[in-house]
Amino acid sequence: MIDREGRVVFGSLLVFVVAVAGSIVVEQQTGVALRDRPLLAFLVFAGIAVALPQLYLAITETGPHSRSRLRFAAVATAVFAVAFADDASGARYLLIAAIGTGSILGVLCYEALEGYRAVSDEVTFDLRDR
């Protein structure tokens, strides 16, 4: 029996395989290949296969694993952005780079906010005792 996490990851990989198979059919019918569109390939590969299942699991579960899932999704998105931006040029390059940079900046802001909340929860100010 596959656990919930396995089903989510397997489902996203199945959607990825169907998307790639669909792109192959579109390529044979129209001549437009997925590899010729680096922004679309980045969104399909990094988004559907890697980031989407991790973000879904981070949102739906509680505990320490949700933070590590967010970190993994952000770092993986940034790594794939570097890889896919190499094939892009112009505005597509900037957009892919902005997505990768935004994912890292987003996780840094999230971690800073969580750290601030943890510290502010420990410190309480009670002015009535004076």
> Which pair of tokens denotes residue 60?
């739906």
Whether 19 and 46 have beta carbons less than 8 Å apart is answered as no
**pLDDT score for 37:** 86
**pLDDT score for 128:** 63
Whether 12 and 48 have beta carbons less than 8 Å apart is answered as yes
What's the pTM value of the predicted model, to 2 decimals?
Answer: 0.79
Q: How many other CB atoms sit within 10 Å of the CB of residue 103? A: 22
Whether 11 and 53 have beta carbons less than 8 Å apart is answered as yes
Query: What is the end-to-end Cα distance of the chain in Å, rounded?
Result: 60
**pLDDT score for 77:** 93
**pLDDT score for 72:** 92
By C-alpha distance, which of 19, 12, 96, 83 is closest to 54? 12
Whether 34 and 44 have beta carbons less than 8 Å apart is answered as yes
> Which pair of tokens denotes residue 32?
């437009």
Q: What tens-digit pLDDT sequence spans the chain (130 residues)?
A: 788 889 999 999 999 999 999 999 988 988 888 888 888 889 888 888 899 999 999 899 877 788 889 999 999 999 999 988 888 888 889 998 999 999 999 999 998 998 888 887 776 665 665 5
**pLDDT score for 7:** 92
**pLDDT score for 129:** 54
